[in-house]
Amino acid sequence: MGPESWRRNFHGIFTPPSDLFIRYLRPADDLIRERKTRKRSEVSVAVVAAEREYLILDHLDLVQHAVNQVSSRYPSHVDRGELWNAGALGLVEAAARFREEAGVPFPRYAATRIKGAIIDSTRQRDWAGRAIRRNTREIQRAEEALTDARGRLPSDSALAAALSITDDQLRSRRNAAAAACLLHLDYQVDDEDPLAVVVAENHPDCLPEDSLLSRELSGTLRVAVAGLPEPQREVVERYYFGAELLQDIAASLGVTEARTSQICAEALNALRSYFGAVYEGVPQVPADAPGKRSRAAYVATLTTDATWRTRIGAAASFQRAV
């Protein structure tokens, strides 16, 4: 008795059987056919996985070949191991996407995918930007061409003229390229000392902490000078930043040179008082120095308004202006 006749004869007498029970009432040949189909599907999946694994393992040399091709374009600090890893992922993706019916041999298809994966990975990790890299390559090509033509390294002016840019633009591009060059602190500069030790001994301002302290000090000075009352601010800026003579400043202010010198001294005392309130170890202003009341008001105002972020921002804006 088949499933349908069972349903007709016993409908309404018993609770209708579940689909699982009906399934076991099917003829044996249906069950056998279903098992064969399932096995063939499982075998097909296993075959596809084996074919992909074969494609990957049999073409690993394509990854190293692609790394050798593209590595000459990158500076020495780029890790070749990272390039290889990116290329290997490109090979895995190529094996997964490869279709033989497209008519393209797998080595050719995989080589394109591998090289593209390497280039994409380096672009994603490159924080310098494509414009900086392009400018660097243009400078290198122009320098090589002028060197070959003249038999010596070209001057900055000749190189800038060849690139149709100014000397300042050439320096700016070189500075950007130098900032984009990254080295590990463990990089061996000589036979003994790593880069971190050499930088700490010869260029302490390059260390992050010292660089930040220098920026803070510069910003604090800019904020302190900008907060001076007039004419103290004008005298300090023109005398110390503008390198003007006291007699010229006095003439423009309509006062004597002695009075201008007195204004400058009062301004320096005010600056010293403020720096003493911010930093330790600054010599104190004598208690009997002139301008005590105005100096106290000046320090109180700056201490309240000039935060650490304000001082750091003042240093950054001053560097951009310069």
What tokens appear for 245 in the block? 């003579």
Q: Does the model's pTM come out above 0.75? A: no
Domains 130-182 and 205-321 share a fold: no
**Amino acid at position 174, single letter:** R
Give the whole-angstrom CA distance, residue 61 versus residue 93. 16
Tell me: domain 29-125, CATH 1.10.1740.10, correct?
Answer: yes
CATH number assigned to the domain covering 130-182: 1.10.10
What tokens appear for 196 in the block? 């971190």
CB 91 within 8 A of CB 110: yes
Domain range list for the chain: 29-125, 130-182, 205-321
Q: What is the CA radius of gyration of the chain?
A: 38
CATH number assigned to the domain covering 205-321: 1.20.140
Residue-by-residue pLDDT tens, the chain, 322 positions: 444 443 444 444 444 444 544 444 445 445 445 555 555 555 455 556 777 888 888 888 999 988 888 877 776 667 788 889 989 999 988 888 888 888 888 889 889 999 888 888 877 766 666 777 788 888 888 888 888 888 788 888 888 898 899 988 888 888 777 666 655 656 565 566 665 565 555 555 556 666 777 788 888 888 888 889 899 999 999 998 888 898 999 999 999 999 999 999 999 999 998 888 888 888 888 888 888 888 888 888 888 887 777 777 776 654 443 3
